[in-house]
A = this chain, B = another copy of it.
Amino acid sequence: MPTSATLRALRAFIEARDWDQFHSPENLAKSISIESAELLELYQWTNDPDQQRVEDELADVVTYCIHLANKLGVDLDEILMNKLAQTEQKYPVHLAKGRMTKYTELQQDEEEEE
């Protein structure tokens, strides 16, 4: 992920504009944060913002995430699956089912019950 066609298109876009020089990991991390806030802004005063604008802002966030993954030389699918494995351990089904409680508190709850 993304598909190799999308990846090629994104790389060609950057190359044609000679923008790689601006894409330090730190700058990309800033861009991800800034674009995320633009996405959040759509939900600031309504639960039902314009779908097209949401898609555009979500696309911006993911585009910068792909640029950062490229810079770091990592495959997004791979790091996603690695992180998922960790999260599954932190939030075991029998403790986490149906509630959003931070994993540190989930484990405390369990210890107290024992």
Shortest CB–CB separation between residue A46 and chain B, in angstroms?
8
Interface of A is mostly: helix
Pairwise interchain contact B22-A45, C-beta atoms closer than 8 A: yes
Pairwise interchain contact A37-B34, C-beta atoms closer than 8 A: yes
Q: Number of A residues contacting the other chain (C-beta, 8 Å)?
A: 67
Partner of A34, one of B44, B60, B91, B96: B44
Shortest CB–CB separation between residue A89 and chain B, in angstroms?
12
> What residues of chain A have their CB less than 8 Å away from a CB belonging to chain B?
1-3, 6, 9-10, 13, 16-19, 21-22, 24-27, 29-34, 36-45, 47, 51, 54-56, 58-63, 65-66, 68-69, 72, 74, 76-77, 79-84, 86-88, 91, 93, 96-98, 100
